[in-house]
Amino acid sequence: MSDPSQAGAVTASKGTIHLVHLYPREMSIYGDLGNTRALASRLRWHGYTPVVHDHHPGAPWPHEAHLLVGGGGQDSGQLRVQDDLATHADRLRALAADGLPMLMICGMYQLLGRAFITAEGHRLPGLGILDVTTTGNATRMIGPVVLQTPVGEIVGYENHSGSTVLGEGQEPFGQVRHGQGNNGSDGTEGARTGNVIGSYLHGPILPANPALADHLLEIAVVRATGAWDPEDVDDTIAHQAHDRQVRSLLSA
């Protein structure tokens, strides 16, 4: 079993994995940077070499990308990344169709949908990778969340004013067991198409849910190296925190 504190003990890299963090200044203001750090750390613990590319508006696209992450921001942040997102729209749609794993939280989740209509009525077109439409509201949905998903129970914290509706046939990321989810009424949270996951769960979500982090990494690593050869990472504390939160919220 490998000890995360002894990450340097793995001397021979099993491969280099390129992570692209979209708009960290504008769209990761609710702690979502922790997702990128969790992925990079877990790659090292599993014996791989992470290379993190922070992609900013107007910057050239990284020469390689095996996994994309994006976070939440204010409506003004979404406006600031609109032009750059449009510049790379065809590339992002092609990567999604090709099976590249992506985890997009809150604002970036909304922008990967069909449209985001702000509370003031300003319509921001989305990329249409996820068949969802979001409308801003005056009332925020805030609080802890428990989901049932194909990768198990997921815990996190939602904080969003956008109310999202899934298109017909759009798979949600998970079913809400505690919390409000996409819109507080239909019992769904997030959306998933292929290997693209959109969600409102901050927290950030990946340190609290190691199984989801490794699920994304397995897809990325197989794409990059042809095989997933994980180490036996000790997630005891993370699992204990996760399970206690699930029990506490579901028994409330």
Residues designated catalytic: 106, 202
> What values do phi and psi take at 68, rounded to 5?
-115, 140
Q: Is the dihedral of CA 135, 157, 28, 98 positive or negative?
A: negative
Residue pair 208/155 in contact by the 8 Å Cβ criterion: yes
Q: What is the distance between the alpha carbons of residues 221 and 223, in angstroms, rounded to a whole number?
A: 5
Q: What is the distance between the alpha carbons of residues 84 and 28, in angstroms, rounded to a whole number?
A: 16
| 203 to 15, 71, 155: CA distances (angstroms) | 29, 11, 8
Bridge partners of 132, per DSSP, are 166
Residue 140 is labelled as binding a ligand: yes
Which ranges constitute the DSSP H helices of the chain?
24-27, 33-45, 75-87, 89-97, 107-111, 205-208, 210-225, 236-251
Three-state DSSP class for residue 148: strand
Q: Which residues are annotated as a binding site for substrate?
A: 140
Q: Which residues are annotated as a binding site?
A: 140
